[in-house]
Structure 1
Amino acid sequence: MEQVSHLPVRQSLQQDISVDVVIVGAGFTGMWTAYYLQKAQPDLTIAIVEAKQVGYGASGRNGGWLMGEIAGADGLLAKLTREQRMASHDLIHDIPDEVARVCAQENIECDLRKGGGLYCAARYPEQQQWLQAQLAQHKKDDYQPEDFVWLDKAQLNKQLKMPKAVGALFTPHIATIHPAKLAKGLATCLQNKGVQIFENSPVTHWQSGHVSTDQAKIKAKWVVPAVEAYGSQLKPMDKYQLAVHSLIIATEPLSQAIWDQIGLEKGQAFSESSRLVSYGQRTLDDRLVFGARGGYNFAGRLRKDEPLNESEMAVRLHLMHECFPILKQKAVKVSHSWGGNLALPRRFHPHMLCDRENKIAFSGGYVGEGVGATNLAGRTLADLILNKDTLHTQQPWVMNNQPMKALKKWEPEPIRWLTYKALNRALIYEDKVLADTRSPKWKRKAIVVVCDLLDAIMS
């Protein structure tokens, strides 16, 4: 956020108002929904109420992957015909291009570069096995050959150099962005189009037709709670979305000599493909951004806006140095660290829901892939609110004319906490075993089987 200059200070909600649509949360879900509603029906009155500032949540503090992917989509699309699946693939893959079109049309500068994504077999042999199994499954799921391509080491080295890497799965359907710049640009665009945005206005209560803060109330025909992980603090959404964290570090700007030994010249996103869920990109000002799976607080307590602690920093530094030992050799400093809260739904795929009886539209549960998915969600919620039957509203993750209670609830505490602790310890141990070349085959196989089983139980 500190790189986004001249952030305007917007007024809080100080008096009662009435609008056609009120949106809770000035993140990507809320702002994309407002954008497509206003585009389709310019005479709509729309207000967004935000607890802190535009983009304060995950929308402004993520790793900047703009993905043409939807978490869990393949399992849902498997029930459709081949033609329907291919149409859905095209819809999903177009997400980065749609965002680019809007940014060009609305003069939003967010460092968008569509260099594709590299899922690298970067550190141990099992990663290559997992990625090639994934590629085989993609072929069965009717993806086009160019959607996912295996790169051998020589081909990978032309884009990204990792000493231990043996190859990568490449997809062209990923771009990288500066997320806070996109959030700022969208907010400015919306205000220029007449959408009201109220900051520092935390919602204390919401229901069909009304949203309340400590200062005032908004009466609306439609209510859109677009709060993602922050729904864990706002009933009744706390039953359906679990707040987990993803944690990120960024280096100081690197010299061209160092970048010559790493690559990433075209804005590619990359992952080292462990189950610790790592991700990274080269920023436009030549920093390396590197993140990995975060944590879970008991009862879904949100992570505060604070730098990483020593142990959190150590995990990300270890993974980053394993991938890029030159950064350790050159004693490259980490200049920034931060974390974000994201929502994990019980079915492990996003939901885009429209309760037509109560006039509530809701989307969330992006499983850490929300920078792109929120754009599709905004288009979908706009069509649902306007009662349009489109390709967006026909997707299997859309729950049209259903109440929020149709979502699957999470188990109560302490089951969630204990399950997380067991899974997290197993994944960390798996990574330690697999990264050690001295580990015997039986031990490597055993820990993979255990983690596969835990993953299956969770999903």
Structure 2
Amino acid sequence: MSTRPLWWEGLAPSPRRPAPAADDTCDVVVVGGGLTGLWTAWHLLRLDPSLDVRVLEAEHVGYGASGRNGGWASALYPVSLDRVARESGAAAARDLGAALRGSVDDLGAIAAQEDISCDYTKGGTVVVARGAAQVTRGRADVEHDVRWGLPTRWLGAGEARERLRARGVDGASYSPDCARVQPFSLVTGLAAAVERRGGRVHESTRVTGLRPGSVTTADGVVLRARHVLRATEAWTPTLPGHRRDVAPVYSLVVATAPLPADAWAQVGLAQRETFSEHRHLVVYGQRTADDRLVFGGRGTPYHWGSSVRPAFEDEPGVHAALRSTLLELLPGLPRDTAFTHAWGGALGIARDWHPSVRHDPTTGLGSAGGYVGDGVALAQLAGRALAELVAGRPGRAARLPFVGHRPPPWEPEPLRWLGVGAGLRLASLADAEEARNGRPARLGALLGRLTGH
């Protein structure tokens, strides 16, 4: 079984784009070659093709979460629109909801415009409810979305099973605002689009210093720029002075071999819907273009000091749990279903779970991130907002409530380790409590306060 992401098969760039060889000057330096950094560069060059824009990536483009995720381009947001309204007003919450929905379509339109072949298929997402507690919470989620004008709807048990033939389904929520993508194809295609527009992408370029007006690489090269933008997501704590900005938390993923047509007749997903379950511990899945099931979830422990290491991507116990969970969820799968890949990656969580986009026109420093795993389409919207701010041409994206938001720092260790670990444990305990008594878990309310819902 391969521990490399399925998405990388045949696509990992080789040779890598060269690092800058000598000190230089440009207009904008973007640190981070994932979706946020590349979308920021793409939108900057769209707004002002005369700009000299450089993207610096420590490994290869899409090395982080952008090339490892479950392939959901969704309108999801890590905190509820109710909370956004409490903090920024009802109009801002409505604008954000509309922008998130639009970001899913925008991603598909730009991919088509730039000839990026990333298996974009907008089949929506179905989240099944199994048991009375999940039905209660699922219906509440639908009511929340409907209050904010979103087209989420509740499916009865029969209609839910038509979409996903999961075990013990009592209903499901369905949103049309999600597309399946091949994420690594998206990010590599976007890097090529940035280069066609005149931007320069440097790989194997680790940044060790970031300050107003310049960045320094591990090779000692200094790039000076009017604007220095950080798009490092889970790797942010590795930069000096940013240790407590986000907490990196790992999500792990497994993939099956391609399934035959008779297996899909027993599984569903005929419209290429993405899928999940109304449990507390997050799981997510999709049907790939070559008819595999890709299935992922949280539950991997947080690592002391916000460490991010390749060794953390392989947790045999968690990968085994994902395989057994998928087989239990979908009884129509053959019991001898072959799994070919098991991998993982880190996502970034701000202390208040709220994404942010910031730019200081005085210093030229800017940043975007903190998506809590909901970043495939949201990164496009955040990159657009950051580009509008840098170019001095603020549009609708630059007026959204995540712009200017400044999350509080995470607590120092050991409080950070204890707090993040407690959140993951609470999710598991809440699911176990609901399985026992069939009612929404009391622990779920505590978890909701922790996660901003």
TM range (shorter): over 0.9
Instruction: Specify which of 13, 16, 24 is matched with residue 20 of structure 2.
Output: 13
Tell me the distance in 2 between the aligned counterparts of 1:344 and 1:56: 18
Find the counterpart in structure 1 of residue 96 from structure 2. Answer: 88
Find the counterpart in structure 1 of residue 216 from structure 2. Answer: 212
CA-to-aligned-CA distance 1:25-81 (integer Å, 9 cap, x gap): 110000000000001100000011110001000000000000123221511134556
Ranges in structure 2 where 5+ consecutive residues have no aligned partner:
1-6
> Structure 1 residues 425 and 184, CA, compared in 2 at 3 Å: closer, same or farther?
same
Find the counterpart in structure 2 of residue 164 from structure 1. Answer: 168
What TM-score, normalized by structure 1, do the two folds share?
0.92
Tell me the distance in 2 between the aligned counterparts of 1:88 and 1:238: 29
State whether structure 2 residue 199 is matched by structure 1 residue 195.
yes
> Structure 1 residues 330 and 458, CA, compared in 2 at 3 Å: closer, same or farther?
closer
Find the counterpart in structure 2 of residue 222 from structure 1. Answer: 227
Tell me the distance in 2 between the aligned counterparts of 1:457 and 1:79: 16
Instruction: Specify which of 253, 268, 272 is matched with residue 267 of structure 1.
Output: 272
> Structure 1 residues 235 and 263, CA, compared in 2 at 3 Å: closer, same or farther?
same
Question: After the TM superposition, which of the residue ranges 17-26 and 72-81 deviates more from structure 2?
Answer: 72-81
> Structure 1 residues 83 and 234, CA, compared in 2 at 3 Å: closer, same or farther?
closer
Q: CA deviation at 1:84?
A: 4.8
Q: How many residues align?
A: 442
Tell me the distance in 1 between the aligned counterparts of 2:92 and 2:329: 39
Q: Percent identity?
A: 33
Question: After the TM superposition, which of the residue ranges 168-177 and 72-81 deviates more from structure 2?
Answer: 72-81
1:305–1:339 Cα contact (<8 Å) kept? no
Tell me the distance in 1 between the aligned counterparts of 2:8 and 2:287: 18
> Aligned AA for 2:178?
I
1:245–1:303 Cα contact (<8 Å) kept? no
Instruction: Please give the root-mean-square deviation of Cα atoms over the aligned residues, in Å.
Output: 1.9
Find the counterpart in structure 2 of residue 243 from structure 1. Answer: 248
Find the counterpart in structure 2 of residue 296 from structure 1. Answer: 302
- Output aligned runs, 1:431-446, within 5 Å: 431-435=431-435, 439-440=436-437
Q: Secondary structure at the match of 2:223?
A: strand
1:305–1:338 Cα contact (<8 Å) kept? no
2:423–2:450 Cα contact (<8 Å) kept? no
Instruction: Specify which of 256, 264, 268 is matched with residue 261 of structure 2.
Output: 256
Tell me the distance in 2 between the aligned counterparts of 1:392 and 1:236: 28
Q: Secondary structure at the match of 1:257?
A: helix
Ranges in structure 1 where 5+ consecutive residues have no aligned partner:
401-405
CA-to-aligned-CA distance 1:172-203 (integer Å, 9 cap, x gap): 11101000000110111111222111111111
Find the counterpart in structure 2 of residue 403 from structure 1. Answer: none
1:251–1:336 Cα contact (<8 Å) kept? yes
Q: Secondary structure at the match of 1:197?
A: strand
- Output aligned runs, 1:320-335, within 5 Å: 320-327=326-333, 329-335=334-340
Q: CA deviation at 1:344?
A: 0.3
Question: After the TM superposition, which of the residue ranges 301-310 and 107-116 deviates more from structure 2?
Answer: 301-310
State whether structure 2 residue 382 is matched by structure 1 residue 377.
yes
Find the counterpart in structure 1 of residue 36 from structure 2. Answer: 29
Q: CA deviation at 1:318?
A: 2.8
State whether structure 2 residue 51 is matched by structure 1 residue 52.
no
Tell me the distance in 2 between the aligned counterparts of 1:407 and 1:323: 37
Instruction: Specify which of 325, 334, 347 is matched with residue 342 of structure 1.
Output: 347
Find the counterpart in structure 1 of residue 446 from structure 2. Answer: 453
Q: Secondary structure at the match of 1:422?
A: helix
- Output aligned runs, 1:124-203, within 5 Å: 124-140=131-147, 142-144=148-150, 147-203=151-207
